[in-house]
Amino acid sequence: MALRKLFGLLLLASCLLQTVALTELQSLCVGANQTYLGSSCYVLHGTPRVTYSRAKVACEDYLGYKGHLYHIRNAVIKNTTHQFILSNGLTASDMNVWTSFEQYDANGARNAGWGFAERDGTVTPASYVPWGWNGGGWEPVGPTSHTRAPYAPYYFGLNDAPGEGMGNMPFICEYEEANKHIVTNLEKSCAALNRYHTYANKKCYVMHAELLAYSAAKVACTDVLNYNGHLVHPRSNEQLNILNNFMLAAGPVSEIYIGVEQTNLTAADSKTIGWYYTTPSKSNEQATFLPWTPTEPDGGTGSNNVIYISGSRSFSDVPATKARAFVCVYDDIMYSLKVSNSVSQSSSFSQIAQTSNASLAKCTRDCRINQACSSFAYSLSTSTCQLLASSSSSGNFSLAASFIMYTRQSP
Ligand SMILES: *[C@@H]1O[C@H](CO)[C@@H](O)[C@H](O)[C@H]1NC(C)=O
Ligand SMILES: *[C@@H]1O[C@H](CO)[C@@H](O)[C@H](O)[C@H]1NC(C)=O
Ligand SMILES: *[C@@H]1O[C@H](CO)[C@@H](O)[C@H](O)[C@H]1NC(C)=O
Ligand SMILES: *[C@@H]1O[C@H](CO)[C@@H](O)[C@H](O)[C@H]1NC(C)=O
Ligand SMILES: *[C@@H]1O[C@H](CO)[C@@H](O)[C@H](O)[C@H]1NC(C)=O
Ligand SMILES: [Ca+2]
């Protein structure tokens, strides 16, 4: 009897020992509208239904996992999510659920050039693309404009479709263990914004669909408290994809202002020189990514800024007066500090803020979240923090005794 009891206890103990610890994502991923498979959590968004571009930036159920529309990587994922869709009551009349499939190259065959698109603007070529059978033939049967592919339970596979023209649809978001990262204040603030936004590669991009003249747009990037934003500086095709998606989501919007300006008017109409990345406080970094429309720039010296045009993914120079939509960006600034005592250079800084009774850590944080701050001076003896912006002309700052300068290394 006693032995049996002991055996029972041992059995109980071994059962308890076999209980493996759940990951954070596994413990969150419960309920009928979520399912955990492999190392991903899939979350079904049945309502509200949205267009593709809106769904693409809506995967924010769990921050810190680089959420994206779901990738159908193999037959197991396809079958499991198929059952998951049906078990949530979506029926044949809900013929499509947005996936991450985009045709990144529509020049070849209809069924070639498809990949997994994410909110950071990347598209990773996919080798498994499970087209559905629609009764009339195997998909994709649409025209070249059908560059998106929702999953159609009714076809037991993908259906090529236009992103916006297809209308509002449910969508599945995917959160991967492998993408887990520390959630920053900027990522949290970004997710809380009401405008179309996306947090990608330590930047928060925000679509402003309201129309403003350039000078007003340039100082309107104030979405995120304590982070000095600026008009977006597109430097890659991936960033153009982010902008393009916003322009579809918010509109369609056909033109946006970006933070590239022709500040050197001597170089009028040059495709390469005279163009600078500008912020409200800085204008000395030469622009290097300038995908002009072939006939642009053509505005002469009267047109001192640049717009980006949707669809063509190319730049045009235009006068600053017309009111246009614009995109703001906020940086999650990661930088290392360099101590410097180079008093000789200190006159090229302007003091933008001073705090007393601040620790060195607080001073560092304050500089970090202030994009105008390029350096700071700190006095340990008086606990005084002075934030400094670099100044193209002679600044008003001089380094006082007992202060040490700290310089931001990047960006
Ligand atoms: C999933 O279901 C829960 C419980 O009904 C609900 O609170 C939540 O909003 C749903 N999530 C989504 C993304 O629809
Ligand atoms: C997926 O489902 C189909 C249809 O039910 C079945 O033929 C196939 O074997 C399944 N594949 C896997 C990997 O489960
Ligand atoms: C402005 O453009 C002119 C003409 O190309 C060039 O010679 C000059 O160096 C440029 N000035 C600056 C400050 O870039
Ligand atoms: C120094 O210059 C900055 C920027 O021009 C200005 O905001 C600040 O008030 C000035 N500070 C002093 C002490 O003059
Ligand atoms: C200085 O900061 C400390 C710690 O935050 C606080 O307790 C103290 O009251 C502050 N002193 C002044 C003069 O602000
Ligand atoms: Ca032009």
Average pLDDT along the chain, 411 residues, taken 10 residues at a time: 46 51 94 97 96 98 98 98 92 83 93 97 97 87 95 94 94 98 91 98 96 96 88 97 97 94 86 91 88 92 85 91 96 68 67 92 82 87 92 80 80 45
Ligand at shortest distance from the CA of 387: 4
pLDDT of residue 184: 86
- DSSP string computed for 321-388: -S-EEEEEEEE-----EEEE--GGGGGGEEEEEEESS--HHHHHHHHHT-TT--EEEEETTTTEEEEE
Q: Is 13 helix (H, G, I), strand (E, B) or coil?
A: helix
pLDDT of residue 73: 98
Closest C-alpha residue for ligand 2 atom 3: 79
Report how far residue 111's alpha carbon sits from residue 138's, in angstroms, rounded to the nearest whole number.
10
Question: CA separation (Å) from 170 to 37, 55, 151, 166, 404?
Answer: 20, 8, 10, 12, 56
Atom of ligand 2 nearest to the CA of 79: 1
Token pair belonging to 316: 């045009």
Q: Which amino acid is at 395?
A: G
pLDDT of residue 40: 98
Residue length of the chain:
411
Beta strands 324-331 and 255-262, pairing class: parallel
Atom of ligand 2 nearest to the CA of 75: 13
DSSP state, 249?
Answer: H
Ligand at shortest distance from the CA of 55: 1
CA 342–ligand 2 middle distance (angstroms): 69
- Ligand 2 binding pocket (C-beta < 6 A) is 75-76, 79
CA 307–ligand 3 middle distance (angstroms): 22
CA 148–ligand 2 middle distance (angstroms): 24
- Whether the Cβ atoms of residue 386 and residue 378 lie closer than 8 Å to each other: yes
Query: Measuring CA to CA, which residue among 377, 383, 394 is closest to residue 341?
Result: 377
pLDDT of residue 137: 80
Closest C-alpha residue for ligand 3 atom 11: 264
Question: CA separation (Å) from 165 to 146, 168, 242, 252?
Answer: 9, 9, 19, 11
* Main-chain phi, psi angles of 27, to 5 degrees: -70, -25
Ligand 1 touching residue 136 (CB < 6 A): no
**Cβ atoms within 10 Å of 25's Cβ, excluding its own:** 19
Tell me if the bond preceding 252 is cis, omega within 30° of 0.
yes
Atom of ligand 1 nearest to the CA of 44: 13
pLDDT of residue 406: 86
Q: Strand pairing partners for 200? A: 203
CA 221–ligand 6 middle distance (angstroms): 25
Q: What distance, in Å, lies between the first and last C-alpha atoms of the chain?
A: 73
Tell me if the bond preceding 319 is cis, omega within 30° of 0.
no
CA 78–ligand 2 middle distance (angstroms): 9
Q: Strand pairing partners for 307? A: 257, 316
Report how far residue 346's alpha carbon sits from residue 366's, in angstroms, rounded to the nearest whole number.
19
The sign one gets for the Cα dihedral 108, 110, 116, 121 is: positive
Ligand 1 touching residue 82 (CB < 6 A): no
Question: Kindly report the CA angle at 117 between 221 and 276, in degrees rounded to 5?
Answer: 35
pLDDT in tens, 157-176: 999 999 999 999 999 999 99
Q: Is 392 helix (H, G, I), strand (E, B) or coil?
A: coil
Report how far residue 140's alpha carbon sits from residue 111's, in angstroms, rounded to the nearest whole number.
6
Tell me if the bond preceding 297 is cis, omega within 30° of 0.
yes
CA 263–ligand 3 middle distance (angstroms): 10
Ligand 1 touching residue 45 (CB < 6 A): yes
| Strand boundaries in 192-304, DSSP class E | 197-200, 203-212, 230-231, 255-262, 275-279, 282-286
Ligand at shortest distance from the CA of 76: 2
CA 226–ligand 5 middle distance (angstroms): 22
- Ligand 3 binding pocket (C-beta < 6 A) is 264, 266-267, 273-274
Q: Strand pairing partners for 172? A: 44
Report how far residue 234's alpha carbon sits from residue 224's, in angstroms, rounded to the nearest whole number.
20
pLDDT of residue 193: 98
Global pTM? 0.79
